[in-house]
A = this chain, B = another copy of it.
């Protein structure tokens, strides 16, 4: 929720103040809809009149709308989603991956994630929630550093080693928990194991109680374009299950790769 993108802006306030504020408002509305003027102005530390002008403007432009019952509280329209769903290549990948995701969901009963790499992070594109009464909580659109997730490691293992090393070395690695490995050398070595097994495992590296198994989906020249993964509580994931789930995920991901036109031979 709030902790995802720490307000690390403040450095580049030089460009387009009003636009920056407007998009911030749009984001804030999406997080706490339906929301009123005052609540919003407090949350964003904005003058109330400014906040209202933003809401009115975004409303006129068709991005948000007042609820029919509560005409002073605003929510998103489908416009933002319409824009977002045009994200390049997303449609094709989703279409191909969904059946495989349902298969994994059916055989394991756990939450299945479809993610894509973006810069030095991995972004959750879609998910199918598991049936267990206790599950991991995630949100479509959220992202995490590559080295903190199973999906991220699967991606790193599937790209050219030099590129993986460059990505990991570009900036100091963040530790999200005590179990997050932040040593580049150690991670690069772990990636060899991932390549050997065909899947990556992460236990408590992003959140103390959450574990995951992931495998990369490869496209044309053998490059990773997405990942499939299972996300589940660490308690429900003893080491003996690693290869069980791991191989299922790897098989599902390979099937997606094949449909994308990339046949992993060896």
Q: Which A residues lie at the B interface, using CB under 8 A? A: 12, 15-16, 18-20, 22-23, 26-27, 30-31, 33-34, 53-54, 56-58, 60-61, 63, 65, 75-88, 90-91, 95, 98-99, 102, 116, 118-119, 123, 125, 128-129, 139-143
Cβ–Cβ contact A83 & B141, under 8 A: yes
Cβ–Cβ contact A83 & B26, under 8 A: yes
> Which residue on chain B has the smallest CB distance to residue A14?
B60
Cβ–Cβ contact A81 & B85, under 8 A: yes
Residues of B within 8 A of A54 (CB): 16, 19
Cβ–Cβ contact A83 & B16, under 8 A: no
Residues of B within 8 A of A142 (CB): 82
Residues of B within 8 A of A61 (CB): 19-20, 23
Residues of B within 8 A of A77 (CB): 87, 118
Residues of B within 8 A of A26 (CB): 83
Of the candidates B15, B99, B140, B143, the one whose C-beta lies within 8 Å of that of A56 is B15
